[in-house]
Amino acid sequence: MRASSDLEILSALERKVLWLASWTIHNANHLRPSSDGLKVGGHQASSASLATIMTALYFHTLRPQDRVAVKPHASPIFHAIQYLLGAQTREKLEAFRAYKGAQSYPSRTKDTDDVDFSTGSVGLGVAQTLFASLAQDYVRAHGLGPQGRPEGRMIALVGDAELDEGNVFEALLEGWKHDVRNTWWIVDYNRQSLDAVVREGLYERFVGIFEAMGWQVVVLKYGSLQQAAFREQGGARLKAWIDTCPNGEYSALTFQGGAAWRKRLLDDLGDQGDVTALIERRSDAELSALMTNLGGHDLPTVMEAFDAIDHDRPVCFLCYTVKGFGLPLAGHKDNHAGLMTPAQVETLRAAMNVRPGHEWEPFEGLALPQATLRDFLAKVPFRREGTRRLSDPALPVPALVTPPNPSLSTQAGFGLILQEMARGDSALAGRIVTTSPDVTVSTNLGPWVNRRGLFAQRELIDVFKRERIPSTFNWEFSPKGQHLELGIAEMNLFLMLSALGLSHSLFGARLIPIGTLYDPFICRGLDALNYACYQDARFIVVATPSGITLAPEGGAHQSISTPLIGMAQDGLASFEPAFVDELAVLMGFAFDYVQREGAGPDEDHNWLRDATGGSVYFRLSTRPLAQPQRTLTDTQKRHMVDGAYWLREPGPNAEVVIAVQGAVTPEAIEAVGLIAEDRRDVGLLAVTSADRLNAGWTAAARAREHGVLNAQSHVERLLAPLPRHCGLVTVIDGHPATLGWLGSVHGHRVRALGVEHFGQTGTLQDLYRHHGIDTAAMVAAAQAVAPGRPMRHLRALG
Which pLDDT does position 698 carry in this prediction? 96
Which stretch of 118-122, 368-372, 614-618 has the lowest confidence by average pLDDT? 118-122
The interaxial angle of helices 166-177 and 124-141, nearest 10 deg, is 20
Nearest Cα to Cα of residue 516 among 490, 535, 534, 498: 490
Residues 659, 747, 667, CA angle at the centre, nearest 5°? 15
pLDDT of the residue at 194: 45
Mean pLDDT of all residues in 781-790:
82
How confident is the model at residue 465, as a pLDDT? 65
pLDDT surpasses 90 at 213: yes
- Given pLDDT bands bounded at 50, 70 and 90, which one contains residue 339? confident
DSSP secondary structure of 283-338: -HHHHHHHHT-BGGG-HHHHHHHHHT--S-S-EEEEEE--TTTTSTTTT-TT-SS-
Each residue's pLDDT tens digit, 525-576: 999 999 999 999 999 999 999 999 988 887 888 999 999 999 999 999 999 9
Strands of 512-517's sheet, edge to edge? 477-478, 454-455, 483-486, 432-437, 512-517, 540-543, 615-619, 572-575
Query: For residues 327 and 348, what is the distance between their CA atoms, to the nearest angstrom?
Result: 7
Task: Supply the pLDDT for residue 739.
Answer: 98
At 35 the pLDDT is 75
* pLDDT score for 731: 98
Give pLDDT, residue 469.
65
Is the confidence at residue 733, as pLDDT, over 60? Answer: yes
Q: What is the mean pLDDT of the chain?
A: 92
pLDDT at 277 exceeding the cut of 50: yes
Residue 792 has pLDDT above 70, yes or no: no
User: pLDDT, tens digit, for every residue of 63-86?
Assistant: 999 999 999 999 999 999 999 999
pLDDT (average), residues 108-113: 92
Average the pLDDT over each of 363-377, 601-615, 740-754, 782-796 and give the range with the smallest value.
782-796
Query: Is the confidence at residue 198, as pLDDT, over 70?
Result: no
For residue 146, whether the previous peptide bond is cis, meaning omega lies within 30 degrees of 0, is no
CB 14 within 8 A of CB 51: yes
SS (H, E, C) 21-80: HHHHHHHHHHHCCCCCCCCCCCCHHHHHCCHHHHHHHHHHHCCCCCEEECCHHHHHHHHH
Task: Output the pLDDT for position 271.
Answer: 77
> To the nearest 5 percent, what fractions of the chain are helix, strand and coil?
45, 10, 40
CA separation for the pair 433, 745 (Å, rounded): 40
Specify the pLDDT at position 199: 56
pLDDT band at 791 (very low <50, low <70, confident <90, very high): low
**CA 734, CA 617: separation in Å to the nearest integer?**
15
pLDDT, position 702: 94
Measured CA to CA, the distance from residue 724 to residue 442 in angstroms comes to: 46
1 falls in which pLDDT band (50, 70, 90)?
very low
Tally DSSP H helices, then E strands, for the chain.
35, 20
d(Cα 253, Cα 267) in Å, to the nearest integer?
13
Kindly tell me if the per-residue pLDDT of 337 is higher than 60: yes
- pLDDT digits over 118-167, tens only? 998 889 999 999 999 999 999 999 999 999 899 999 999 999 888 889 99
As a whole number of angstroms, the distance between CA 149 and CA 675 comes to 66
pLDDT digits (tens, 9 = 90+) for 8-54: 999 999 999 999 999 999 999 998 888 777 888 888 888 999 999 99
Which is more confidently placed, 602 or 715? 715
Q: What is the rounded radius of gyration, in angstroms, for the C-alpha atoms of the chain?
A: 31
Which residue type is seen at 71?
K
How much is the average pLDDT of 763-772?
94
Confidence at residue 196, expressed as pLDDT on a 0 to 100 scale? 47
Question: Residue 415: what pLDDT?
Answer: 97
pLDDT at 270 over 80: no
Nearest CA-CA partner of 44 in 27, 25, 29 = 25
Least confident of 323-327, 709-713, 786-790: 786-790
- The type of residue at 151 is E
pLDDT higher for 683 or 556?
Answer: 683
DSSP assignment string, 393-443: PPPPPPPPPPP--SEE-HHHHHHHHHHHHHHS--HHHHHEEEEEES-TGGG
| Higher pLDDT pick, 69 / 678 | 69
197-201, 262-266, 420-424 — which is least confidently predicted?
197-201
Q: 467 pLDDT band (50/70/90 cuts)?
A: low
- pLDDT at position 638 is 97
Query: Mean pLDDT throughout 391-413?
Result: 95
Q: How far apart are CA 287 and CA 5, in angstroms?
A: 26
Q: For the residues 296-317, what does the mean pLDDT come to?
A: 97
Q: What is the arithmetic mean of pLDDT over 705-716?
A: 94
Give the integer Cα–Cα distance in Å for 758 and 742.
25
Q: How far is CA 537 from CA 167, 503, 574, in A?
A: 19, 9, 15
Q: What is the mean pLDDT of residues 692-713?
A: 94
pLDDT band (50, 70, 90) for residue 742: very high
In the prediction, which pLDDT does 386 show? Answer: 79
Residue-level pLDDT at 171: 95
Distance, first Cα to last Cα, the chain: 86
pLDDT of residue 443: 94
